[in-house]
Amino acid sequence: MKPLLLFVITAFTFSSLAQKPLKDFYLKRTLNQNGLQYEFSVLDEDKHGVLHYSKEKFYYWYKAQGVKSTQGESSGTLLHGEFESFYENDQLHQKGNFKRGLKCGEWMHWREDGTLIFAEVWSKGELKAKKWYNESGRIYKSERDWGKDWKKDKADTVIVRRKLFNMERIIYRDSDGKLVKQENRKNGTLHGKSMYYSGGQLERTEKYKKGELISSTDDVKEEKEPKEKKTKKEPRVKRDKKQKE
């Protein structure tokens, strides 16, 4: 009895392992679209899709030999798993991952010569960070949601967003990586402290409220007049009651 049970378990295990590669192959798609070649996977019909669509997110889906993206809805088979697209010269165009139609993890986009254009970080269809690269491979701009300070981020322009208060912190650097300016914005207008640097050293500070300049360290302050030194009073000379005539 035991040998028979062992045989059944072993046969079932090997059968399951064999079916997975076949199912993965079945879920893969390849097509040409917008002058690019797409290679991607779709969601297995046996898995549940999206129960509640977010009106703020874009969902990617496949139908009629085409990949579509729709805000807040889908009408086909959701993309799920690794996604790659290629130029006509077989050079990578972009690469990333989908999870039930939403972008997730790191996404990278290249020029036709293979140099990186930008890299993104997504979480459940929300863009969390993005870095732009010039043709020499140097980061010249970076955007990310509010979080821990990335000391290694030496982009010329760094934009840190905080959705809770619609705040942005923008940091500017020169070609040598030294600080030039740091400002805070609320709803797109200056709000809070703005700091200006020279040679990487703080030069002056300005304070704004809803776009209006409130104060600046460059304001001319009235010089206080030096206090006059108190002169010692001469001792009074006592007069004799009897004055000599």
Domain hosting residue 32, numbered range? 17-45+56-124
Residue 46 pLDDT greater than 90, yes or no = no
- Within a domain: 187: yes
Cross-strand partners of 38: 31, 85
Domain count across the chain: 2
CA separation for the pair 90, 39 (Å, rounded): 12
Q: Are residues 75 and 108 in the same domain?
A: yes
Q: Are residues 93 and 35 in the same domain?
A: yes
Q: Are residues 150 and 116 in the same domain?
A: no
pTM of the model: 0.73
Q: Are residues 119 and 23 in the same domain?
A: yes
- Within a domain: 10: no
Residue 13 pLDDT greater than 70, yes or no = no
Q: Are residues 110 and 178 in the same domain?
A: no
DSSP designation for 230: P
- Within a domain: 7: no
- Within a domain: 112: yes
Domain-terminating residue out of 124, 147, 163? 124
Whole-number pLDDT of residue 240: 53
Domain-terminating residue out of 99, 124, 149? 124
> Between these two residues, 65 and 149, which has the higher pLDDT value?
65
CA separation for the pair 73, 80 (Å, rounded): 15
Phi and psi (nearest 5°) for 124?
Answer: 50, 45
Nearest one of 187, 195, 147, 142 to 168, comparing CA atoms? 187
- Per-residue pLDDT band for 7 (boundaries 50, 70, 90) equals very low
Domain-terminating residue out of 124, 155, 177? 124
- Within a domain: 129: no
Region 214-229: what's the mean pLDDT? 63
Q: Are residues 119 and 155 in the same domain?
A: no
Residue written as token pair 């059944």: 8
Region 40-45: what's the mean pLDDT? 93
Whole-number pLDDT of residue 180: 93
Q: Are residues 71 and 147 in the same domain?
A: no
Whole-number pLDDT of residue 223: 44
> Between these two residues, 220 and 160, which has the higher pLDDT value?
160
- Within a domain: 244: no
The whole-angstrom distance between residue 175's C-alpha and the CA centroid of its chain comes to 21
Helix (H) or strand (E) holding 190: strand 189-190
Region 155-180: what's the mean pLDDT? 88
Q: Are residues 110 and 157 in the same domain?
A: no
- Within a domain: 147: yes
Q: Are residues 66 and 158 in the same domain?
A: no
Whole-number pLDDT of residue 239: 53
Whole-number pLDDT of residue 130: 94
- Within a domain: 34: yes
CA separation for the pair 212, 58 (Å, rounded): 37
